[in-house]
Structure 1
Amino acid sequence: MKKDEAEELGFVPQKDIVYNKLLPYADKLDSESNDILCKIKGNLARAVQLRELWPGVLFWTRKLSTYMRLYGRKFSKEDHVLFIKLLYELVTIPKLEISMMQGFARLLVNLLKKKELLSREDLELPWRPLYELQERILYSKTEHLGLNWFPNSVENVLKTLVKSCRPYFPASSTQEMLDEWRPLLCPFDVTMQRAVGYFELFLPTTLPPELHHQGF
């Protein structure tokens, strides 16, 4: 069955919704989902190349989110990795509108949810852009002046995003984080609390045994 499905689709799907096979038109789902996925990939790529965040990129990322609700992760591992890398780049665009950033972040969290589908060998994500994003939003120097406004939900979205990306940080990231935040570890200063918060959130705690010497 899996082999027949792969031949029909042209790829091995990551994880589709098994209950879809019980639908009365199940025999048409493969061609239907393939057509929709091709449209999403083509139009999303075109919108990114044209730097058309609104309405292009936002519209087609929402279409991708809808596709995943209807068909699951019915795309190849290569496409899965590329979707994640694209969404990661979109989320970390400097000065991106907050509502747009939150939308991209939620979709990225959804793409990263099934850890068993992607290993560290398949995907690597840098930690520093997420740190800079957190620093810019959660410790904004202009929000208290009324020059920026961030919704209450943004903190939870960002923290969930970091936790979802954390298993894919490079092996060298632990040392880089220690070098970055060690100067903040002064017990008589308020920066201590910020540093501990960053360590708790960012440090990769699920390194494989062969990389434990690079952990903490």
Structure 2
Amino acid sequence: MGKANSFANFLIIGPTCFFLGILFSSFPYDYNVLWTTPPEGRDAYFNILEDHIKFLYASPPIISRILHIAIATGFAGFFVKLYRATEANYLFDGASLALYFAGILVYITNIVKGFRVVTAGIYGSIPEEGLQPEDYISREDTLRVFAASNTILALVLVGVLVLQAGHWYAVRKEEAEIAAMDKEAEEKKKSGKKKQ
């Protein structure tokens, strides 16, 4: 594994871990909305999650810019690794890139949209012709979708890390096998010279 490949690994793993840290900080909010039913009910947790989303959405523009720079850094790492790629790169890094791209799609389609909907408070309250009130997504369902999207994104990013670790292991194993074959060939050469 060359220096360029190691640097590209850093460019992929760094942003992926950064995103997982952001998602982990949201997990206490998401956990109570998705998986537990406290005795006092979920209303308090829906309010907390809604306030958290509004707070994040109102943060200074530098926050979203840092996030988008991190996303671009991850893509740069993939493009460096896939430039003049080996077969192992195509398998592991291609699958990792597909997962990373799927994560970005979840971010854009569900999380960014969720930020806007929650901040504006438009939980299906704008009537459209031909739709009944039960056709709208309620506040609780919107917040659940947002929390579930965070969980899905976390699983996708863990998949990226697992594939990168698998690639690292496969390359190390291949290097060890090549070194063992070279050593065996060298020993055969030495023993052949001694017999002559």
Q: TM-score, normalised to structure 2's length? A: 0.27
Greater C-alpha Rg: 2
Q: Which has the higher contact order (CA 8 A, sep 6+)?
A: 2
